[in-house]
Amino acid sequence: MEDGEMTADERIQNYFRRILICDEESHPAEGLAVMIRERYPVLLLMLIHFNYKSEEFSEKFTRADQKKILNYAENIIHEMVKGFFDRSCLLRKDQNGFILVLSMEGMEEYKEQVEAMSIKFRKVMKDYFEIPVSIAVSRPVREAEGVQDLLYQALSGMNDTYYDSSSQIVFYSENCKENFSHSSSFNINFLKKELTGIIRQNDRKGFSNIMNHIIQLFVQCKPSRSQAVNACSNLYYFITFLLEEREDQSFPYILDVAGQLNRLTDLSAVTAWLEGFRDQVAEALETYKEGKKDKYIELVMEYIRVHYREKITLNQMSALLNISQGHLSCIFKKQTGKNFSDYVTEIKIEKAKELIETYQYMMYEISDMLGFDTQYYFSAVFKKTTGYTPKEYESMTIKKSCS
């Protein structure tokens, strides 16, 4: 349809569509500019967004359902706006909502009218379709050519409905602008190196601390919905990749984490999700750490049983396991109830008894075979452990065998 065949309202709607939906640089012809000034001497813009991905909304919702609801909502808005404003222009922004341009001519308390209409529309959509609706409202402006700035204001305000679930109708303010620009540079990748080291050390406390730092960054930086979803998804896959490095890790993985995150309605729900994820991973790290302690002790005890002929020290074992002497000493005592050196001595003396009972070796030979520095030291340790010297023990076994 040529401009000459359009009504005045259709020509104005076409102009608004070009600059707001198609994002064209367009200046109205003089005749059209006059019509816009007459009909919209003061105008503001409302951005209406349907939260289809809300947790409250059905996952069975189809594209066909979406199209029906948009058509229905368009009719509702057309009729409803007549009861509040003399003139308006409704544009379908995308499959998620509308842009509504309103004429504020002669209206001093426009906020009351906007809020009343918004509450009514949101209630209808919630009652009939169970769809949460967010609405952001720009400031009024006197020149239609500044309407693109109004869209930016409404988009800024829409971000605030994500940051604060209690604010489902937001009027643009400087605070919205600050939040919108602040969120553009949100990035948590600089923490990944530190996270890698903490997870590989199974450091539950360190992991919880760094996750608390990340959660605080979300609260302070206020990322947009897409930024929050991307950051959480990347964080989830990065951490679970590190957890998958261990064979016996039974972490409850999520198949569609991005889909789950997209259904969170606001930033507080995202931070709650992060807190839950933090606690799950921290618990997994603690469980794995305890299991690893058991494995360490099994390895140490097996090594001592196999290498009892050698001189075995705590320093040597900690180096083999790549853990500190203090840590190994602590977990060994906790798991076995014995000091490391006492356990080594216990195994060596048991083997010494077995060798003595063969009657094939001299005492100095047994001392050498078991890695003692001197026969004297071997005898002293043997007596301290059994209450007898090696010779006395040998005599006892001979008497028992002859009786």
Condensed to tens digits (0 to 9), the pLDDT of residues 176-204 reads: 555 544 445 567 777 888 888 888 778 88
pLDDT of residue 41 exceeding 70: yes
* Structure tokens that stand for 363 in this block: 């005492």
Judge whether residue 132 has pLDDT over 50. yes
Helical residues (DSSP H) of 5-109, grouped into ranges: 8-20, 30-39, 63-82
Pair 219, 263: CB distance under 8 Å: no
DSSP state of 189: G
Q: Is 401 left (phi over 0), alpha (psi -120 to 50) or beta?
A: alpha
Separation CA 6–CA 1 (nearest Å): 7
CB neighbour class for 329 (10 Å; exposed up to 12, middle 13-18, buried from 19): middle
Percent of the chain with pLDDT strictly greater than 90: 30
Buried b (16+ CB within 10 A) or exposed e, 3-13: eeeeeeeebbb
Cα(391)–Cα(396) distance, rounded to whole angstroms? 9
Q: Output the CA torsion 165→168→173→178 (10° steps).
A: 40
Question: What gap in Å lies between CA 376 and CA 364, rounded to an integer?
Answer: 9
Q: pLDDT for 86-108, tens place per residue?
A: 899 999 987 778 999 999 877 77
Residue 338 has pLDDT above 90, yes or no: no
Is 21 within 8 Å of 97 (Cβ atoms)? no
CA dihedral 123, 129, 133, 137 (to 10 degrees): -60
Handedness of CA 58, 63, 69, 70 (dihedral sign): positive
Q: What is the pLDDT of residues 59-74, one digit of tens each?
A: 566 778 888 888 999 9
Q: How far apart are CA 32 and CA 243, in angstroms?
A: 63
| pTM exceeds cut of 0.75 | no
What is the Cα–Cα distance from 288 to 200, expressed in whole angstroms?
11
Summarised one tens digit per residue, pLDDT across range 274-308 is: 999 999 999 888 887 766 666 778 888 888 888 88
